[in-house]
Structure 1
Amino acid sequence: MEIFFVIIPSVMIAGLLFAVYTVIDRSRRVARAWSSGLTAEARCLRSYTTTSGGGDHSVSTTLHHVYEFAARDGRVVRFEEAGGPGTTLEGDIVTVHYTADRPDQATAKAPARGRLFAESGCLLVFLGVALSFCVFFMITAHWIFAESEGMFP
């Protein structure tokens, strides 16, 4: 029985660590694109929404945009970005920021380093609290099982 109190939190910890990696990686990619100084005019080819949830859960809607632009070296690059502004419609021209080595990881979001730092920081704090809870739960469960088996005097 004790094994379930180790396996389930361990799987949750693995998922939370992957989420931490994803948040940090996305923040670094966006910050690098803003810092590179390379910009281009991109056309919004498509915008669409995805929904998740429903039933007993609240519904969440995410707006996606598909952009296409010509990089400095002449390559035509197409990328998709979630969470863009609702005012950008198909056919609109926007400025994108990208790096020379990875133009496919461009962003159409305007530079806002403080906002990026705040969003990433809040997400990392939340994930850190969840990780701490999982570790605390594992330690507490182990201690309770060890005490019930008479391991502690």
Structure 2
Amino acid sequence: MGGGFTVLVWVLVAFFVWGGVATVRRYRQRQAAWESGLTARARVVRAWVTAQAVNNTVRRIQWHEYDYTTHDGRAVRFKESGGPRDRGQGEEVLVYYAAHEPDKATASAPQPGKDLAGTVFVLIMLVVGAAVLLSQWASLSGV
């Protein structure tokens, strides 16, 4: 196989690794926010939906942007995906945050088991995808 194909394979593997790192990072941020015991009332500043096409299927992703003030008086604004579709601009919600990363807050109620299961599922899919890609590359290139 040509050098360009090999480069593409490794770029895709790097994408899988980046996805895994980002997934674990967000999982750890949410856990830290839930375990900190710090909460605040936040206001929904903006709500919107993005569309993502995967295998000719459109997937809608709900986004919200929140404003809140930490217990020590810092104003914080953050964005989060995956919230309820009926949550609208101006609505007040409870957010969980860690003192060392208030901009990595979450408006999701604590569900550590569900969050862990989702994280593990995503990681398994990324590993399987990378393994299939590398095995196909190896068989096509004769490695």
Q: TM-score normalised to the size of structure 1?
A: 0.85
Q: CA contact under 8 A between 1:2 and 1:141: conserved in structure 2? A: no
Q: How many equivalent residue pairs? A: 143
* SS at 1:94 equivalent: strand
Q: Which has the higher strand share?
A: 2
Once the two structures are superposed, residues 59-98 of structure 1 have per-residue CA deviations (whole angstroms, 9 ceiling, x without a partner) of 2221111111110110111111111012322221111000
The amino acid of 1:12's aligned partner reads L
- Determine the structure 1 residue equivalent to 2:105: 106
1: CA distance, partners of 2:50 / 2:44: 17
Aligned to 1:92: 91
Where structure 1 has 5 or more consecutive residues not aligned to the other structure, the ranges are 145-153
- Alpha-carbon offset, residue 138 of structure 1: 2.9
Identity %: 33
Q: How well do the aligned residues superpose, as a CA RMSD in angstroms?
A: 1.9
1:122 CA drift (Å): 0.7
Partner Cα distance (2:103, 2:48) in 1: 19
Change (3 A) 1:101 1:15: same
Query: What's the CA shift for 1:4?
Result: 4.1
- Asked whether the equivalents of residues 5 and 141 of structure 1 are also in contact (C-alpha less than 8 Å), the reply is no
Greater C-alpha radius of gyration: 1
Moved more, 66-75 or 131-140: 131-140
Q: Which moved more, 1:81-90 or 1:19-28?
A: 81-90
**Residue of structure 2 equivalent to 1:49:** 49
The CA distance in 1 between the partners of 2:88 and 2:6, in whole Å, is 49
Any unmatched runs of 5+ in structure 2? none
Residue 9 of structure 2: aligned partner: 9
TM-score, normalized by length of structure 2? 0.91
Residue 72 of structure 2 corresponds to which residue in structure 1?
73
> What is the DSSP-based 3-state SS (H/G/I as helix, E as strand, rest coil) of the residue aligned with 2:107?
coil
Contact 1:71 1:77 in 2 (8 A): yes
The offset of 1:27, in angstroms, is 0.6
Shift of 1:5: 4.4
